[in-house]
């Protein structure tokens, strides 16, 4: 019985820490390289890690900007939370965005 409790505890701890595995942790530069949010291509993206300060994070708070070529004065700002889902693979990297907000500037 004690062995079963030990194994169950060990398994639970491993599952709980699965999201902290190195392949789920990205650098700020990798997060900023993601330029497509909800099908919209960003001109600029700036991100910072959420949580304890370290070189790699599992969540990022980001701000992107879009300046339409038809009217660059009407810049659109996009704020979002980026959640990597696995190893960083450039354009093929898997991620999810939450709390996505679009805000237009220069629009009456």
The 10s digit of each residue's pLDDT in 49-58 is 998 877 899 9
Closest CA to 103 of 72, 82, 75, 81: 75
Res. 104: pLDDT tops 90: no
Q: What is the CA 12 to chain-centroid distance, rounded?
A: 26
Report whether 87 contacts 97 (CB < 8 A): no
Strand ranges, E, within the chain: 36-37, 40-41, 44-49, 60-66, 76-84, 95-104
pLDDT tens for residues 16-70? 444 556 668 999 999 999 999 988 899 999 999 998 877 899 999 999 999 888 8
Order of all β-strands in the sheet with 76-84 = 44-49, 60-66, 76-84, 95-104
Burial readout 1-29 (b: 16 or more C-beta within 10 A, e: otherwise): eeeeeeeeeeeeeeeeeeeeeeebbbbbe
pTM exceeding 0.75:
no
Write down the domain spans for the chain: 21-104
pLDDT exceeds cutoff 80 at 96: yes
């Amino acid at each position: 019985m004690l062995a079963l409790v030990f194994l169950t505890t060990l398994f639970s701890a491993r599952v709980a820490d699965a999201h902290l595995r190195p392949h789920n942790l990205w650098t700020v530069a990798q997060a900023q390289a993601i330029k497509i949010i909800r099908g919209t291509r960003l001109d600029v993206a700036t991100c910072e890690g959420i949580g304890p300060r370290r070189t790699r994070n599992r969540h990022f708070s980001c701000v992107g900007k879009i300046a339409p070529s038809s009217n660059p004065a009407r810049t659109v700002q996009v704020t979002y939370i980026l959640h990597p889902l696995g190893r960083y693979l450039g354009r093929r990297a898997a991620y999810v965005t939450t709390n996505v907000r679009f805000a237009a500037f220069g629009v009456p």
